[in-house]
Structure 1
């Protein structure tokens, strides 16, 4: 035993001296404070419950200790786990235990903010809801309208707070960014779910296709001159004017003037006296003839 104590005694003495110096350094080193951010982890929430209060994201933990220990502590990461396996609907408080915060020897907690976590749980309900696309009032250019809207998927399964789903008939999309569209539009759109406390949902975005079509209108154009197409002979028409009813895109139909509508009779061969001929109409593309009055006129040769 004595031999072990006396063997290499200079080295043993040096080690003891170093240990004593380090101990004294730690004991006399100035004590500092450090504020740590410790993320909160909410675990094991029962399947039939959902948290409807705004959860605290983290704890502010102020600790005191030697600067060398605090420097190493600042580089470490840890979370504070709260187990809600036995939670029930309603409000409850959870007191933060400083004993569960991992700290090296020589460092202790001064304060924790918040020291109590308040949470509220609600009963959940599972529901299958249709999706409704939301369009702004000025989303379509003047003279156009929505033909139809296709959404994929059309229905979405959601599990959320029962009280929030009770009066909910559909899940709405964010407003579609059509920006005065004149042509069809398609895109991926987010659902508006911020007001709901959701446990699970099949998807938070949908594919939307919007068919944009011209607004179709009817219009009567009166006092349109009836022309003669055919031989060069001179003819008199009775009556020599017509009223045309047309149907087509609003932007085109509104711009039509009597001069832009070609109403005529087609004289294929010379007429020696009088003849009753059908009235014909040439219209711009996309504009259809609904009716013309009169449908026939009397054509009489004058030379």
Structure 2
């Protein structure tokens, strides 16, 4: 029996190698489905506009393709790109996102979520508002705030028109008066929570001039 196995051993070894290569080829070409979280990129946003809708940062994508390709696919090489060039104010709907994925040959998208994206664009505007200084606590007995001097008479807000035009004022964080005996200066942070707008400067220099109450005022009190 051993002799029969040794007969034409080189042909048998060649057949075994051929069968192994064929098996590897068949396995490698088997279809596989794999999920990816693909980043969504917005390109060429017009300078005078901004996005004011909730746009997902990633799209969940299921891809089908040869096992050898999918197993070695680098997720960082996948992206979905939406070109905003030439768009005007308003809502634009982008469908068939699968056609916007940079897939290698031999692969296709089986499903993705979300399957479309609504993008709302608004004009960017800038507006100047009167800041309102907010105090907390009280000065020691016999003292009062004579006047408040602002480093800037107006503060600038920049952002989506619909949000900026609704603003009425911008307030400072509370400035503590307790235990203040003389004039002082503080860089007061501004309180602002715009979703699609921002303060050009986040703080305001405030000079608080303190004086002793006049004798007549003390008598009245």
Is the CA contact 1:38–1:80 (under 8 Å) kept in the aligned structure 2? yes
| Higher RCO by CA contacts (8 Å cutoff, separation 6 or greater) | 2
Measure the CA separation in 2 of the matches of 1:146 and 1:75: 62
| Structure 2 counterpart of 1:60 | 60
**Larger displacement relative to structure 2 (118-127 or 82-91):** 118-127
- Any conservation in 1 of the 2:125–2:164 contact (CA below 8 Å)? yes
1:140 pairs, out of 137, 142, 160, with 137
Mapped partners of 2:75, 2:97: distance in 1:
22
Deviation per residue, 1:256-284 (Å, 9 max, x gap): xxxxxxxxxxxxxxxxxxxxxxxxxxxxx
Contact 2:50/2:121 (CA < 8 Å) preserved in 1? Answer: yes
What is the alpha-carbon distance in structure 2 between the residues aligned to residue 217 and residue 71 of structure 1?
83
Give the superposition deviation at 1:83.
Answer: 1.3
Inter-CA distance 187–78: structure 2 relative to 1 (3 Å threshold) = farther
Q: Aligned in 2, Cα 1:32/1:112: closer, same or farther, shift over 3 Å?
A: closer
- What is the TM-score with the length of structure 2 in the denominator? 0.67
Task: Give the secondary-structure state (helix, strand or coil) at the position aligned to 1:164.
Answer: helix
Q: Which moved more, 1:82-91 or 1:158-167?
A: 158-167
Q: Could you tell me how far 1:43 is from its partner in structure 2? A: 2.3
How is 1:279-290 mapped onto 2 (pairs within 5 angstroms)?
none
Deviation at 1:131, TM superposition (A): 4.7
Q: CA deviation at 1:104?
A: 3.8
Larger Rg: 1
What residue in structure 2 maps to residue 72 of structure 1?
72
Q: Which of structure 1's runs of 4+ aligned residues deviate more than 6 A?
A: none
Task: Please provide the CA RMSD for this pair.
Answer: 3.9
Stretches of structure 2 lacking an aligned partner (at least 5 in a row): 1-13
TM-score norm. by structure 1 comes to 0.52
SS in 2 for 1:76: helix
Aligned residue number for residue 181 of structure 1:
178
Which whole-Å deviations, capped at 9, do the CAs of 1:121-175 have from their partners, x for residues lacking one?
A: 2334343x14514425xx12354654444444443444433343445454x1452
Counterpart secondary structure, 1:38: strand
- CA 1:97–1:166 in 2, change beyond 3 Å: closer, same or farther? closer
Unmatched 5+ stretches in structure 1: 1-12, 220-245, 249-253, 255-303
Aligned to 1:112: 112
Aligned twin of 1:160: 159
Higher-helix-fraction structure: 2
1:208 and 2:208 aligned: no
Higher strand share: 1
Contact 2:192 2:199 in 1 (8 A): no
2:45 is matched with: 45
Please show how residues 146-295 of structure 1 align to structure 2 within 5 Å: 146-170=145-169, 172-176=170-174, 178=176, 181-183=178-180, 184=184, 186-187=186-187, 189-195=189-195, 197-198=196-197, 203-211=200-208, 213=210, 216=213, 218=215, 247=218
